[in-house]
């Protein structure tokens, strides 16, 4: 590091990416290893879980959602 190097503390923030794809999600059964298909339709994901519950009697599920995020300095305008 040279003596004239400037270091500054900067506040950063993170949130949904401005050019993000729709969130991808799927539902996983917590009583067995089965998982529903990955998609962007929450109703379809819920329907998979209801059909699985009707077929197996399993009642515990986990919804897994993937959202693209974007980190930037807090004072930078979103592009």
User: Which of 32, 69 has the CB closer to Zn ion?
Assistant: 32
| Site membership for Zn ion, residue 72 (CB under 5 A) | no
DSSP letter string, 13-32: EEEE-TTPPPPEEEEEESSS
Under the binding rule (CB under 5 A), the answer on residue 76 touching Zn ion is no
Tell me if 31 contacts Zn ion by CB under 5 A.
yes
Q: Compute the distance between CA of residue 69 and CA of residue 12 in angstroms, rounded to an integer.
A: 13
Neighbours of 70 (CB within 10 A): 14
Q: Which of 39, 58, 64, 72 binds Zn ion (CB under 5 A)?
A: 58
CA torsion, ordered 33, 39, 41, 43, to nearest 10 deg: -20
**41 in contact with Zn ion (CB under 5 A):** no
51 binds Zn ion (CB under 5 A): no
Residues contributing to the site for Zn ion (CB under 5 A): 29, 31-32, 34, 56, 58
């Amino acid at each position: 590091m040279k003596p004239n190097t400037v270091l500054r503390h900067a506040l950063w923030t993170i949130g949904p990416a401005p050019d993000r794809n729709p969130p991808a999600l799927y539902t996983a059964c917590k009583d067995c290893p089965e998982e529903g298909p990955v998609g962007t339709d929450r109703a379809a994901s819920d329907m998979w879980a209801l059909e699985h519950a009707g077929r197996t009697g399993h009642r515990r599920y986990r919804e897994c959602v993937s959202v693209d995020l974007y980190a930037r300095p807090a004072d930078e305008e979103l592009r």
